[in-house]
Chains A and B, each alone.
Chain A
Amino acid sequence: MPPIIDPTKCTGCGVCVDVCSEDVFFGSEKGKVPVITYPEFCVHFNCCASECPEEGAIKLRLPLPQMILYKKGADT
């Protein structure tokens, strides 16, 4: 789901905006913290986070409907 940007760490370099195929950051302005215009169209490929030069400035959050389902209590 949405990339979550930490505005205290983001430098506004715009690399995340450049590389997103879905262009979820459409409408962002260079030099400013990106806007996440289309959060529901993030496909969680981590392209933005992998290219971001600042540690911890951007990360992805998995939306509830896409929660990873696993078998609990199976580890005995």
Chain B
Amino acid sequence: MGNGILMEELIETDVLCVGGGIAGLMAAIRARELGAKVIVAEKGNTLHSGRGRAGNDHFWCYIPEVHGADMELFLKECLKGPKLRLMQAGTSMKVLRAFLENSFDIVKLWDRWGISMKYQGRWEFAGHSFPGDVLTHLKYAGLKQKRILTEKALEKGAEIMNRVMIYDLLRADGGIVGAIGIHTREKKVVVFQAKAVILGTGFVDRLYPPPVSGWLASVAGGLTLTGDGRAMIYRAGGDVVGPEIPRRHVGPRYFSRYGQATWVGVLRDPQDKPIGPYVTKPDRIYGDMTPEVRGTLLEDYMKSGQGPVYMDCRGISNEDYEYMMYWMVHEGNSSLLEFMKEEGIDIRRHPVEFQIYNMLPEGKIWINERAETSVEGLYAAGDESMGGIGPSATYGWIAGENAATYVKDAPSLDLKKAREKIEEKKVLAEKMRTREIGPDWKEANIALQQIMQDYAGSVRSETLLTAGLSYLQMLRDKADATLMARNQWELTRCLETRNLLDIGELVFIAAQERRESRGLHNRPDYPFTDPMLDGKGLFIRKVGEQPVLEWKAIN
């Protein structure tokens, strides 16, 4: 039993939204509209949390009056783009289709709510497309999106509990009965009884070493994106797909930011030669697609000594410069603009060095077109499943709708059946808080990151993966037995690191099973891409205590 150092608070609800990002808030809003009692548990503050915390400016969507009536054709065109194709690996066509079908309704909803989706009175599409290709991303003014969505959720009657980190799901009778969390400031554990849970916990930006050595927060997404949802659903016996296929973003060197597609410039080498074949001068509609097609080229330039590579906006027209600056603010890059101004850096005169950032494991929570996961009563939306703003907003909505419908007929719950598990989870948290000596979360996280980089990084092989997995397991055993947290803030980071350890293990196991090279999954021992694996995803779920892998067609 716990030694009582953490107080327990018990809260009942119909629908629990884990994560108050775009997906979680949309889910809360829709579920409330349909009459469910809704709580959003967010480990930060929903006003400024998640990847969308400071704004975004690209919303993938299908607008018939712009793209034509043939949605299937548009879908095919979208999948040509490398970013979309990679992002959607592990997403079924049914899920993609349902997203596109609903996306315009979500656009109109956001516009009504005060998130301006039109630019100068028109649907403005730009970015993430090749010159001459179909334009897929709507430019929108996302700066205040989190505030608007937060206020809408509260207006609809959702309850928002900020500073609560959910760290495990509670199951009984084959379904969900709730979840357990800690308060990130006060010494307490919060147990939720819920008929349905929606995981909107975002992606994983802390598993691999950050761009600046030893500076854990130098990642583009922030410190708190640790894939909590996918770790929890894996522990609860649900399906995760494709943790072995990583992706990497590109942006300013060392000062990691998203928003590469908002820069209106050309990536050039030190002799001003473009490194890619797509553009030779700044183009505000197409940008430079080189980083999306082959971001590792930037690294190759450094390795061969031909670098650095610069994002060069020289030659940009005044009008395009104003356009770019306007969208940079909405994308959440006002601090970048301020820092550059302070230093006298003017992108019209100074090329800015760009690099490719750390690996992000793809590993999605598998969902169907109703946002249902493989566990009854459990839903997922957002970057944990089908990422990007458009899909996150749309699937948040779909998840909220289906969860609210589900709870109407769901049987009443008995949390008593999960009491033993609750006590077990409490003890896990309390042990970390009571230890006075031992490694803290930083030690464990850094130890994990270097194992991931060296053994499941840009070079993977049977021998490296086998060694790395065994080291990870050694690390996990030590972390489980000795990890300590000096306060609730550190406890939050410890529980996140515990999730990262689980996700790291999935990366190793799945990478071993994928005996081919594909995308950034690079295996010198299997250098070819196996066409028999096209259209297939590698599913992992826990059965008993063991991971079970299965190849399944994704369609």
Residues of chain A whose beta carbon lies under 8 Å from any beta carbon of chain B: 18-23, 26-27, 37-38, 40-47, 49-51, 60, 62-63, 65-72, 74-75
Contacts and interface: CB of A to CB of B under 8 A. Distances in A.
B338 to A, nearest CB: 8
Interface in B58-92: none
A21 to B, nearest CB: 3
A71 B45 contact: no
B351 A41 contact: no
A70 B351 contact: yes
B45 to A, nearest CB: 5
A-side binding surface: helix, strand, loop or mixed? loop
B216 A19 contact: no
B47 interface: yes
Contacts of B351: 70-71, 74
Residue among A23, A43, A51, A75 with the highest chain B CB neighbour number at 10 A: A43
Contacts of A22: 44, 217, 222-224
A14 to B, nearest CB: 12
B53 interface: yes
A23 B184 contact: yes
B349 A75 contact: yes
Contacts of B45: 18-21
Contacts of B349: 74-75
A20 B215 contact: no
14 contacts: A18-B45, A21-B44, A21-B48, A22-B222, A22-B224, A23-B185, A26-B185, A44-B255, A44-B339, A67-B255, A69-B353, A70-B351, A71-B352, A75-B314
Given A62-B339, A66-B254, A21 B350 contact: no
B340 interface: yes
Contact of B215 (A45, A66, A70, A75): A66
B339 A68 contact: yes
Given A19-B47, A21-B44, A41 B223 contact: yes
B339 A41 contact: no
A51 B147 CA distance: 11
A46 B252 CA distance: 17
B119 interface: no
A50 B222 CA distance: 17
A74 to B, nearest CB: 6
Interface of B: 43-45, 47-50, 53-54, 162-163, 184-185, 212, 215-219, 222-224, 252-255, 270, 308, 310, 314, 332, 334-336, 338-340, 343, 345-346, 349-353, 487, 489
A9 to B, nearest CB: 18
A23 B217 contact: no
B306 to A, nearest CB: 15
Q: Is the interface of B mostly helix, strand, loop or mixed?
A: loop
Contacts of A63: 215
Contact of A74 (B252, B335, B350): B350
A27 B340 CA distance: 32
B495 to A, nearest CB: 14
Contacts of B339: 44, 60, 62, 68
Contact of A43 (B222, B334, B343, B489): B222
Nearest to B49: A21
Contacts of A41: 216-217, 223
A72 B54 contact: no
Given A23-B185, A65-B212, A71-B351, 17 more contacts: A21-B43, A21-B48, A21-B49, A21-B224, A23-B489, A26-B487, A45-B222, A46-B334, A47-B47, A47-B53, A51-B48, A66-B212, A68-B345, A69-B353, A71-B350, A74-B314, A74-B351
B204 to A, nearest CB: 15
Given A43-B223, A45-B222, A60-B335, A70 B352 contact: yes
The 6 closest A-B pairs by CB, nearest first: A21-B44, A75-B349, A47-B48, A69-B353, A70-B350, A46-B335
A71 B350 CA distance: 6
Contacts of B487: 26-27
Given A26-B487, A68-B345, A70-B351, A20 B48 contact: yes
Residue among B255, B270, B349 with most chain A CB within 10 A: B255
B335 A66 contact: no
B110 to A, nearest CB: 20
B421 to A, nearest CB: 28
A40 to B, nearest CB: 7
A63 to B, nearest CB: 8
A20 B217 CA distance: 13
Contacts of B222: 21-22, 43, 45
B336 to A, nearest CB: 8
A18 B518 CA distance: 43
Contacts of A40: 215-217
A20 B44 contact: yes
A42 B44 contact: no
A63 B210 CA distance: 15
